[in-house]
Amino acid sequence: MSEVLKIENLSYVYPKSSKKALDSLNFSVEKGEIIGIIGPNGSGKTTLIKAISGLVEYEGSIKLFGKEIKSIPRTELAKKIGVMAQEFSPIYDARAIDIVEMGRTPYTNLFGDLSDLDKTYVDFAFKALNIAHLRERMFYSLSGGERQIVYAAKVFAQSPEIFLLDEATVHLDIGNAQHLLLKMKERAINGATVIATFHDINQASVFSDRIIVMKSGKIYSMGEPEEVITRKMIKEVYNATCEIVKGPSNVVNVLMTLDTMLVNR
């Protein structure tokens, strides 16, 4: 296995904030791995994705294939890393096809002309995500879930070596979420590396090779899903009570409990 990403003593404080959004993180990621990142609201998941995307002036080190991210020119970085941010709101409305074609921007000339190869990637993305019927629709006429799939197709068309996904399935129904995650797994089998934050712990559990649990900007725990997803973690990190059950293929699942005895906890 070869190391794709190595993060050492990564910290970040937002301007005008006194709290560390990321606090001394250390981990590395191998080629082809699927890393799930979970943690409660405000624990630093999005900030971590932004840092790896090269969008914030972090302290410490983030090395991509041995090179410090800060020193990699943006166009070169865009060929390696594809980001699905938590929010995607283009300034101008555009057709789905225009949005997906934007995924090829790192490869086109100044005028944005698409080569035959670029068009092949765009067609592949529409097919892979089953959205041929949305091709000519205006982005802002789509539902939240449809927008999210079109946005995913843009990142698919980009075909990066590393996918950074920030709550990529949050607006999707179970069928579309499963389809997107399966397609991402297929990319990983073909050598891509995936780092994905999840709101839904069970989706992280079924999808990830390893999970990183964030709490207050720090890594609380890291390991295979069955190692990290425990009642103790859910209590200490999310302040929630639950039962952990093993589902099909031994995937651990979290079942929220709603015992009225807990109403005044």
Query: Interface residues with ligand ADP (CB under 6 A)?
Result: 14, 17, 21, 39, 41-47
- Residues 74-93 as x/- pattern, contact with Mg ion by CB under 5 A: ------------x-------
d(CA 95, CA 187): 26
Letter for the amino acid at 133?
A: H
Q: Report the residue number, 156 or 198, with the smaller CB distance to ligand ADP.
A: 198
Question: Residue 195 CB, nearest distance to ligand ADP (Å)?
Answer: 13
Q: Which does 42 bind (CB under 5 to 8 A by kind): Mg ion, ligand ADP, none?
A: ligand ADP
Q: Which does 11 bind (CB under 5 to 8 A by kind): Mg ion, ligand ADP, none?
A: none
User: Using CB under 5 A, which residues numbered 90 to 109 contact Mg ion?
Assistant: none
Question: Residue 49 CB, nearest distance to Mg ion (Å)?
Answer: 8
Q: Which does 47 bind (CB under 5 to 8 A by kind): ligand ADP, Mg ion, none?
A: ligand ADP
Q: Which residues pair with 28 in a beta bridge?
A: 6
Q: Quick one: DSSP state of residue 135?
A: T
Compute how many residues bind Mg ion; rule: CB under 5 A. Answer: 3
Question: Residue 49 CB, nearest distance to ligand ADP (Å)?
Answer: 8
Among 5, 39, 43, 46, binds Mg ion (CB under 5 A): 46
Q: Quick one: DSSP state of residue 107?
A: G
Q: Report the residue number, 39 or 54, with the smaller CB distance to ligand ADP.
A: 39
| Stretch touching Mg ion by CB under 5 A, among 41-49, 145-153, 201-209, 233-241 | 41-49
Question: What tokens appear for 259 in the block?
Answer: 């015992």
Q: Which does 14 bind (CB under 5 to 8 A by kind): ligand ADP, Mg ion, none?
A: ligand ADP
Q: Report the residue number, 86 or 108, with the smaller CB distance to Mg ion.
A: 86
Q: What is the dihedral of CA 187, 193, 198, 204, to 10 degrees?
A: 70
Helix segments in the chain, DSSP class H: 45-52, 74-80, 96-102, 116-128, 144-158, 174-189, 201-207, 225-228, 231-238
Q: Report the residue number, 139 or 198, with the smaller CB distance to ligand ADP.
A: 198
d(CA 206, CA 197): 13
Considering the rule CB under 5 A, would residue 158 count as an interface residue with Mg ion?
no
User: Using CB under 5 A, which residues numbered 171 to 230 contact Mg ion?
Assistant: none
Query: With 0-12 CB in 10 A as exposed, 13-18 as middle and 19+ as buried, what is 167?
Result: buried
Q: Which does 108 bind (CB under 5 to 8 A by kind): Mg ion, ligand ADP, none?
A: none
Question: What tokens appear for 229 in the block?
Answer: 């997803």
| End-to-end CA, the chain | 47
Query: What value, to the nearest 5°, has the Cα angle with vertex 106 and ends 189 and 5?
Result: 45
CA distances from 228 to 63, 204, 210, 220, 232 (A): 25, 11, 9, 9, 9
Q: Which does 43 bind (CB under 5 to 8 A by kind): Mg ion, ligand ADP, none?
A: ligand ADP
Binding-site ranges for Mg ion (CB under 5 A):
45-46, 86
